Amino acid sequence: LGASLPLLQRDYRFERVWFWGCIQGVRGAYYIAEGLGPDRAAPRSRLYSLNCLDWSLLTPATKEMLALAEQVKGRFQGDPSFEYSLAEINAEAAARLVESGKEPVMKEEARLIATVEQIDRAVGIVPRGAFVKTPLGSVHENRHFEGLSLGEAKKLSSYFHFTDPVNLKNKTLLEKADLDPSTDFLESLEHDIPRGKGSWSIQLEKGGTVVVLRSLLWLGLTFYHVPMTKQFGYVYFGTGEKNLDLPFML
Amino acid sequence: HGPYQPHEPGYGLDQPGYSPYEDVIPDPHARMLAIKNAKAYLLKTSTKSGLNLYDHFANILTKILDEQPTNTVDIIENISKDVKWAQFRKKMDTLRDEPLIPPTCEAAEKCKALFVREGGEEEREEVEEEMGEPALPNVMEAAFYFEQAGIGLSKDESYYIFLALKNLIRVQPIQKCRFWGKILGLEMNYIIAEVQLREGEEEEGEEGEGTAAEGEKETGEAEEDEQKEKEAEPPKSTYKPPPEIPKELHGTGTNKFVYFVCNEPGKPWVKLPPVTPAQIVCARKIKKFFTGWLDAPVVSFPPFPGNEANYLRAQIARISAGTHVSPTGFYQFADEEEEEEEGGADTYEENPDFEPPPVAEMVESLATWAHHVKGILKQGRCVWINPTQKSEENEEEEDEEEEEDEGEEQQEERGPPLLTLISEDEGMKDIPAWTAQASTNLIPEYSVAILQSNRWPGAYAFATGRKFENIYFGWGHKYSPESHTPELPPPAQAEFPSGPEITETVDPTVEEEMAFKIAQEEALAEAEEEEDEEGEDD
C-alpha cells in the first residue's frame, strides 16, 4: 500500500491521496483509495484494488446506482464482476431496466461505487475548523488549525460532515450569529438521527491522547483525532452494510 | 472635533475616497460590510486578559508616535509587551482556575502500575514450577500472527493487555488463561480474558447471586402463558410458571470457562457471573449495543433477565460456541466410549500425534478445522435437560414440553459430536459460514491460514503448524442478512366471553318495580277474568 499510493498520486495528478478503507467481501476484500485535486469539496475520485497493487478507477456514482444499491442486501462477494440478480429483489426496478434495454442485474462494481459514496456522504467527518471556505467558494485546508482541545474533542458538535450542508439554513438566527461562516459551513454531527445518544460512539483512548469516534450506523467506520494537533482521519473496515437495526440496538 | 492628528486613532478613516483596498473588493456595500466585520473582529475581547486587539493596536500606535523611538520596526514586539504591562490591572477574579488534571495522567498512572513488579515475584516463580505448563498465554505471539492477517490491536495495547493478564493470574487462582478478545461498546470497551480456574476452586454460592435479577419464567419456549401476577386475594390463580431450566454446572457446558473483563488494561478485572440458559435464549432475541458499564440495565423486549454483565456473558458464550475452532485432530476425545453416553464428551485433550496439515490445505478446505466448543442448544444449554423430570436425559422427546423440530435437528447437529468439522456449518442464504484466506500470497512458506467467521463478524482464527488461536474483535452481535425484527408482544389474551348472565345491567328503580308489579297484577286479574268468563260460558 505504501508503495502504490504515491504512484497513484503521480499518475492521476492528485494533490492528496489516501487510503479510504477496506470492504470485506465473502471471498475477498476490496481496498479503496481516494484522491483529490486542489479543491477539497469537489467530488472525489475513487479507486479500488483487490491486492493493493493494481488500482482501477471507479466512475462517480449516479442516483440510479445509489437507489439500486440500497435494495441489494447481504455481503459483498469479493468479485467485481459478480452480478446481483435484481429480479428477486425489486421487481419494479428490474422491469424498468428491462424496458430501457438493459439487463436486470446489478454489477458488484456498481454496488461498490454506490456504497462507498453513501458511506462518505453519511459518515465522512472532519473536525471543526479543519477546513475553511474562501469567499470565492472553494474549500481549503486551514493551515492555522491547531486541533481541538480535549473538552471540545469530546463534544459531538465539534465534528462536521464533509458534505454539502442540507440543514444549515434552517437554524435559528440566534445560532447563526455564533457561527463563523468560514469554518461553520458544514453540518454538525449532533443532529444525526437518532438524537440524544446519537449514532456515534466517542471514546478517548490511551488516556485522552486520541479521540476515536465510531459510527454506529455504518459499523466499521472509525474516525480518529489527536487533540491539539493537526492529525485526524477516518477509515472504514467492514462489510459495507448499513446497520438498519440501530434503533433497536441503543 | 477637528481634523484628526496623525497620532490619534481614526486617522485616515474619514476620507472616503482614499482606500487602499479598492482593487480587492469592488462593491461599496460589500466593502463596508467587510470593514464592519473586520472591525468587529478586532474589537473582540480576549477572555484571558480583558483587552481587545483594536484598542491594543491603537495604544501601540499612540505610544510609538508619541515617543518616536529609533528602529521601531525591530523593537515593535517589546513595545507591544510594554503596553500590555501598562494595562495590567490587578486580577479581580478571586477564583482560581483549578489545574485540570488531564485524564492522560490518570491513565498513565494506571499503566505505570502495570509495569511495576510486585513483591510476590518469588512466590509466583514457585507456583509456575509446580504447574508444568505456563498459565500466562503468550499474547504478543498471538498478536504477531494476527497482525499478519491484518487484524488485532496495536502493539502498545497488546502489551498492556499482556501485563494486565499477568496481574490477573497473580490475583486469582488460575490454571489456564487466554486473551479472548475485545468487545466494543458505546462509551467504553471490554477486554475479555477466558480463564480456567484451578481444580478444586469452586464458585461461591451461585444460588444467591443474581437470582433477584433473573425472572422465574423462561422466556424462550413458545408458550403463550406469559407472566401473570399471582393475586393474593381470592380467587387464587392456578397458574404455575414453567419450571426454570437450571444453569449448567461450573466447569461444564456453557460455563466451562470463567470470564474476566476490564474496561482498559490497568483497571481491575471483574469476574462475570455464570450464564443461565434463560439469558442465552433471551440474548438470541435481542440485539443491543454494549455501553461499557457492567451494571447498566438492558432494556429490551422480551425483558432480559439481568444487566449488562449478564448480557455480555451470554454473548461471549454464544460467540465461543459458534466460532472457537482448532485444526481437526488437534484435540481428540479422551475416551472413545464416552462419546455415546449422556452428557456427551465434555473433555478433550490434545492429540500428541497430531500432524499439522500444510497451510495451503488449511485454507482451501474447511474440513481441516473443527469446533472444540460445544454448541448451544435451543434450550440455552449444551446438554439437553428435561426440566419437568429433572433428570439428565439426552434428546428424548417429551410431550410435556413443546419442542419444535428444529430443536431436534440442532441437537443432532451440535449436541454430542463435540469436534464437528466446520465445513458442516450452515451458511446464510448464499454466504458460507466461514471465509478462509492465507495471510500472504507472496511468501507461501511463512504464511498463516486465517479464518474469518461470517456468522459472527469479528471472530478470527489463525493456524500455522501446531499453533493456533481464536480471537474476537467486534461489537458482539451476530450477522443476519435480514434486519432484526424484535419479538412481537404476545396477543392480548381472550377475555371471558361476556354473555347476558354476567353482563351488568342497571337495577330497576323502585317506581319501575312498582309499575311492573301493578302491570303484572292487572295482567293476572285479566287472566282470571277471562277464566271466569270462560268458566261461565261452559
Do A18 and A113 lie in one domain? The reply is yes
Per-residue pLDDT, A38 = 61
Compute the CA torsion angle A206, A212, A215, A221 (nearest 10 deg).
-100
A-chain residue closest to B30, CA distance: A135
Domain end among A122, A141, A167: A122
Sort out which chain A residues have CB atoms less than 8 A from B429's CB and list them: 74
Helices within B324-376 (DSSP H only): 359-364
> Which tops the pLDDT comparison, A96 or A56?
A56
Q: How far apart are CA A203 and CA A192, in angstroms?
A: 18
- Kindly identify which residue of chain A lies nearest to residue B104, measuring between CA atoms: A207
Q: What is the pLDDT of residue B127?
A: 41
Residue type (1 letter), A89: I
Please tell me whether residues A63 and A88 are part of one structural domain: yes
* Residue that finishes a domain, picked among A62, A92, A122: A122
* Closest of B223, B169, B217, B216 to residue B197, by C-alpha: B169
- Using a CB-CB cut-off of 8 Å, the residues of chain A touching B111 are 207
User: Is the domain of A100 the same as that of A133?
Assistant: no
pLDDT value for A96: 57
Interhelix angle for A63-71 vs A91-99, to 10°? 140
Closest Cα in chain A, distance from residue B467 (Å): 24
Same domain, A58 and A113: yes
DSSP code string of B134-193: -SS--HHHHHHHHHHHT-S--HHHHHHHHHHHHHHHHHS-EEEEEEEEEE--SS--EEEE
Which residue is listed with cell 475416551?
Answer: B335
Q: Does A134 touch chain B (CB under 8 A)?
A: no
Partner residue facing A208 (CB), from B102, B457, B482: B102
What is the model's pLDDT at position A139? 67
Q: Could you read off the pLDDT of A167-186 as tens digits, one per residue?
A: 555 555 555 555 555 566 66
Determine, for residues A207 and B289 on separate chains, whether the beta-carbon distance falls below 8 Å. Answer: no
Largest interatomic CA distance in chain A = 59
- Over residues A202-206, the mean pLDDT reads 74
Q: Does A250 touch chain B (CB under 8 A)?
A: yes
Count CB pairs under 8 A between chains A and B. Answer: 65
Parallel, antiparallel, or unpaired for β B449-453 and A45-49?
A: unpaired
The answer to whether the beta carbons of residues B290 and B190 sit under 8 Å apart is yes
B189 contacts in chain A (CB < 8 Å)? 203
Using CA atoms, how far apart are residues A200 and B499, in angstroms rounded to an integer? Answer: 56
Return the residue of A nearest to B456 by Cα.
A239
Cis bond leading into B352, ω under 30°?
no
Extended strands (E) in chain A: 16-24, 29-36, 45-49, 56-58, 83-85, 105-107, 125-127, 131-133, 139-141, 159-161, 200-205, 210-215, 221-225, 232-238
Are A118 and A132 part of one and the same domain? no
- Domain enclosing residue A160, as ranges: 127-248
Q: Is the pLDDT of residue A100 over 70?
A: no
Say if the Cβ atoms of A250 and B102 lie within 8 Å.
no
In angstroms, what CA-CA distances link A56 with A22, A156, A158, B243, B347? 15, 36, 35, 62, 52
A26 to B435: CB separation less than 8 angstroms, yes or no = yes
**What 3-state class would DSSP assign to B197?**
strand
Q: Find cell 495528478 and name the residue.
A: A13
Q: In 10 A of CB A230, how many CB atoms?
A: 15
- Whole-number pLDDT of residue B356: 67
- Which of chain A's residues have a Cβ under 8 Å away from the Cβ of B486? 248
Which neighbouring-strand residues pair with A46? A34, A58
Decide if B454 and A75 are in contact by the 8 Å CB cutoff: yes
Place of cell 493456533: B468
What gap in Å lies between CA A53 and CA B345, rounded to an integer? 49
Chain A interface mutation, best of B25, B98, B101, B104, highest count of A Cβ atoms under 10 Å? B104
Residues from chain A contacting residue B287 (CB–CB below 8 Å)? 245, 248-249
Residue A175's CB is within 10 A of a number of other CB atoms, namely 11
Chain B residue closest in CA terms to A73: B481
Chain B residue at shortest CA distance from A150:
B102
Subunit contact B484:A214, Cβ cutoff 8 A: no
Contact: A201, B184; criterion CB under 8 Å? yes
Residue with cell 423462561: B218
**Burial of B397 per CB tally in 10 Å (0-12, 13-18, 19+):** exposed
Same-domain status, A106 and A166: no
- pLDDT tens across the length of chain B (538 residues): 455 555 555 444 544 444 444 445 456 777 887 788 777 777 776 556 666 777 778 888 888 888 887 777 777 887 778 777 776 655 555 555 555 555 556 666 666 666 665 433 333 444 433 333 455 667 777 777 777 777 777 777 788 788 788 888 777 777 778 888 888 888 888 888 888 776 654 444 333 333 333 333 333 333 333 333 444 556 666 666 666 666 666 666 667 788 888 887 777 888 888 888 888 888 888 888 888 888 888 877 777 888 888 888 888 888 888 788 777 777 766 544 433 333 334 456 666 666 666 666 666 666 677 777 766 766 666 666 665 543 333 333 333 333 333 333 333 333 445 666 666 666 666 667 777 777 666 666 777 777 888 788 888 887 777 777 888 888 878 776 666 666 677 777 777 777 667 777 777 788 888 888 888 888 888 888 777 776 666 5
Query: Measured between alpha carbons, how far is B108 from B265 in angstroms, rounded to an integer?
Result: 11
Q: Do residues A116 and A221 both lie within one domain?
A: no
> Considering only CA atoms, which of A72, A78, A82, A31 is closest in space to residue A52?
A31
Measured between beta carbons, which residues in chain B are less than 8 angstroms from residue A244?
Answer: 483
* ipTM > 0.90 (yes/no): no
Shortest Cα distance, chain A CAs vs residue B484, angstroms:
6
Give Cα A113 distance to the centre of its chain: 11
- DSSP class of B322: H
Q: Which of A72, A102, A122 is the last residue of a domain?
A: A122
Contact B393, B342 (CB under 8 A): yes
**What are the cell numbers at A105?**
442485474
Q: Which ranges in B339-404 belong to alpha helices (H)?
A: 359-364
Is the same domain home to A50 and A146? Answer: no
Query: What would the grid cell of residue A234 be?
Result: 477516518
Facing A207 at nearest CB: one of B103, B188, B454: B103
Closest CA to B322 of B368, B365, B362, B374: B374
Q: What is the DSSP letter of B393?
A: -
Radius of gyration from C-alpha coordinates of chain A:
19
- Read off the pLDDT of each residue in A52-77 and give the average, rounded to a whole number: 73
CA distance B107 to B188: 14
Which chain B residues touch A if contact means CB-CB below 8 Å? Answer: 102-108, 111, 156, 184-189, 286-289, 429-432, 435, 452, 454, 457, 475, 477, 479, 481-484, 486
* Distance (Å, whole) CA A135 – CA B239: 75
**With 70 as the cut, is the pLDDT of residue A102 above it?**
no
Residue A248 and residue B105: Cβ atoms within 8 Å? Answer: no
**CB of B318 within 8 A of CB of B287?**
no
CB A9 within 8 A of CB A17: yes
Q: What DSSP assignment string belongs to B67-116?
A: H--SSGGGSHHHHHHHHHHHT-------PPPP----HHHHHHHHHHHHHS
Identify which has the larger pLDDT, A79 or A224.
Answer: A224
Q: Are strands A16-24 and A232-238 parallel, antiparallel or unpaired?
A: parallel
Chain B residue numbers with beta carbons less than 8 Å from the beta carbon of A219 are 475
Contact (CB<8Å) A248/B288 = yes
Cell of B150: 491484518
pLDDT per residue over A20-44, tens digit each?
888 877 777 788 888 776 655 566 7
Q: Do B186 and A74 touch (CB under 8 A)?
A: no
Partner residue facing A73 (CB), from B188, B288, B481: B481
Element (H, E) at A97: helix A91-99
Average per-residue pLDDT for chain A: 71
Q: State whether A99 and A52 are in the same domain.
A: yes
State the maximum Cα–Cα separation within chain B, in Å, rounded to a whole number: 156
- B contact test, residue of A23, A199, A206 with most B CBs within 10 A: A206
Contact B183, B472 (CB under 8 A): yes
* Whether residue A180 sits in one domain with residue A163: yes
pLDDT for position B104? 59
pLDDT of A190 > 70? The answer is: no
Is A71 part of the contact surface with chain B (CB cutoff 8 Å)? no
Containing H/E element for B412? helix B405-414
Grid cell 444449554 — which residue?
B381
Total number of domains constituting chain A: 2
Cell of A231: 492529525
CA atoms within 13 A on the CB side of B123: 8
**Are residues A141 and A104 part of one domain?**
no
- Pick the residue from chain B with its C-alpha nearest to A202: B187
Cα–Cα dist B177/B195, whole Å: 4
Same domain assignment for residues A144 and A201: yes
